[in-house]
Amino acid sequence: MIPMQQALIEKAGVSFNQEGMRSAREKTWEAVRRIAASIKSGMLEEDAYELSRKILEEMGSSKNWHRPWVRFGSNTLKPYGVLSQRGTRLGETDIFFIDIGPVWNGFEGDAGATFVTGDDPDMRRCLADARRIYDAVKDRWEMKRESGQALYVFAQEETRRRGWELNLAGAGGHRLSDFPHALHYKGKLSGVDFAPSPYVWVLEIQIRHPERPFGAFYEDLLF
């Protein structure tokens, strides 16, 4: 196999800097928290999507490098880019996740997290384990500096060990930079054969229950 050219894949624009990426990350997570706090049981997913767009605009996002995704219930099984089943309403005991990609002052943010309503133990454990798997993979990256491919092999092992299934179809990690990163690389982190550098990659974890129709999602910048 011919090694990938890491410098070309991780290339960014002339305005790129780590402080800009840190600031974008912090504001993106603030937006996730605001959106989550505004979502209530009984709400239609389509209305939550419109709410997320409004909050991002009010916070000053100049544009979105990807549309906001708000997934309720069984729609949490959908991979990135696949439209949800319309008319899905959030139940009193339910699960949902938020995945946003706003641009702040020319820098791309990307963050995703899962939330629950009610007290279903499987849903709460799924939510928690998505974050735990993310943390375990990030710790491995920090300690071993393994390739993106190896990190997702480890993610698969961690997911199975906890009794879930990993969805790599739509959540294999990706580049991030000053807008737009797609000029440099559109592929997945799970496909690269080198250790990802900090501040230019997002680690994504999407898991699902092996039998029940729901899953959980968590993503954040590697730094």
Q: Tell me, yes or no, whether 163 lies in a domain.
A: yes
Q: Tens digit of pLDDT for each residue in 82-97?
A: 999 999 999 999 999 9
Q: Which structural domain, as residue segments, surrounds residue 121?
A: 6-221
Q: Both tokens of residue 181?
A: 């990163």
Angle at which helices 18-38 and 45-59 cross, to 10°: 140
Q: Tell me, yes or no, whether 1 lies in a domain.
A: no
Residue 29 is part of a domain; what is its CATH number?
3.90.230.10
Is it the case that residue 2 has pLDDT exceeding 90?
Answer: no
Report whether 109 contacts 25 (CB < 8 A). Answer: yes
Q: Tell me, yes or no, whether 63 lies in a domain.
A: yes
Residue 3: its pLDDT value, please?
Answer: 64
Q: How many domains does the chain have?
A: 1
The closest of 152, 123, 115 to 137, measured between CA atoms, is 152
The position carrying tokens 């797609």 is: 182
pLDDT band at 210 (very low <50, low <70, confident <90, very high): very high
Across the range 112-132, mean pLDDT stands at 98
Q: Both tokens of residue 51?
A: 């709410």
